[in-house]
Structure 1
């Protein structure tokens, strides 16, 4: 899935003197406050971090409340979806007007009817709602389906995504991957068949060439025999 990246960052965490005997806990608490929020500094939503303390000797900052400044090196996992990126998520609700998706368990996405390609037909039967492909019977989208969709926009404040199922390479991940495997197998079998035909043709050419050579040798042998017999006579 696109939209995920790892960023290396050099940080300084300011710790209150009252937490001086629990520096590690204070640092982790400060970093945890960044999780699942959009950071303009890192240009993404912080999902996870791995941190190393660079400076073992914290510096006391001057001021009314002298804080400790602790230098850190952190690896941050960021979620930063951009327009035209492909994301994956689980369908949690669908209606005739829209499909609602959860991405990575925390970010919501909505795909409205005008962004669902005409291939999909909405069906409501016996209390079940789903979108079924008109051309591929097994391609269905319902609650619980994992889908791949295109990003149209991302609201950084509420972490909401507007998505699209217009492109042909979007829809049920299971169905898309199955079709990809089928195409790959077809291409592979076609390639093998062509290679087999090529080998057969080469073998036939080699056999034909050997036959010509044999005939030529036999013909020369017969000629030499005739000459020898005429000399003997």
Structure 2
């Protein structure tokens, strides 16, 4: 999935003196406070981290409460989808006007009817709404489907994605992967026939 990246960072984590007995736990607490929020310093939403303490020596900051800074080498998992990236998420709500998706369990995405390609038609099946492809009847989008969508925009403040299903390589992930495997299999068979002839 596009929009995910792993970044190496050298950080200084400032710890209250009362936490100096267990600085590793204090570092975990400080880094955990940054999770699932957009941070301009990291240029993305922090989804996970791993760190090692670079040195046992800490720099003490002068002031009313003398915090101390610990140097840390961290590996950060960041999410920052750009326009035209492709992301995947689970459909949680459908209507004739929109599809609502949760991406990575932390970001909401909405695809409005103007960004759903004309191939898909909204229908009611078994009392539930779904989008069915007119050209491939097995290509169905319903609640619970893993969906690949194109990012139109990403609001970093509320972690909201405006998405699109206009490109042909968007839709149900399982169906797209099956089509890709079948196309690859047909290409191999065609290549074998050419070699024999």
TM-score range, shorter chain: over 0.9
Report what 1:204 is aligned to.
none
Corresponding residue of 2:55: 55
Q: 2:177 maps to what in 1?
A: 177
Is residue 2:17 matched to residue 1:11?
A: no
Q: What is the CA–CA distance in structure 1 between the aligned matches of 2:125 and 2:78, rounded to whole Å?
A: 41
C-alpha displacement of 1:125 = 3.6
Secondary structure of the residue aligned to 1:130 is strand
- 2:151 is equivalent to residue 151 of structure 1: yes
Q: 1:196 matched to which residue of 2?
A: 196
1:112-137, Cα deviation, whole Å (9 max, x unpaired): 00000000000024421100000001
Q: Deviations over 1:163-215 (max 9, x none)?
A: 00000010011111111111111111111111111xxxxxxxxxxxxxxxxxx
Partners of 1:171 and 1:125 lie apart in 2 by 18
Structure 2 match to 1:140: 140
Q: Could you tell me the TM-score, scaled by structure 2's length?
A: 0.98
SS at match of 1:55: strand
User: Which segments of structure 1 move beyond 3 Å, counting only runs of 4 or more?
Assistant: none
Partner of residue 34, structure 1: 34
Deviates more, 1:14-23 or 1:40-49: 14-23
**2:130 corresponds to:** 130
Match of 2:76 in 1: 76
Higher strand share: 2
**Given the two structures, how large is their TM-score scaled by the length of structure 1?**
0.83
Query: What do residues 35-73 of structure 1 show as CA deviations (whole Å, max 9, x unaligned)?
Result: 111010011000111101112011211112111111111
Deviations 1:94-146 (A, max 9, x none): 00000000111111100000000000000024421100000001100000100
> What CA distance in whole angstroms lies between the structure 2 residues aligned with 1:55 and 1:6?
23
Tell me how far apart the structure 2 counterparts of residues 20 and 6 of structure 1 sit (CA, whole Å). 29
Considering fraction of residues, name the structure with more helix: 1
SS at match of 2:57: coil
- Structure 2 gap ranges (5+): none
Larger of the two Rg values belongs to structure = 1
Per-residue CA shift, 1:9-33, capped at 9, x if unaligned? 1111111111111211111100000
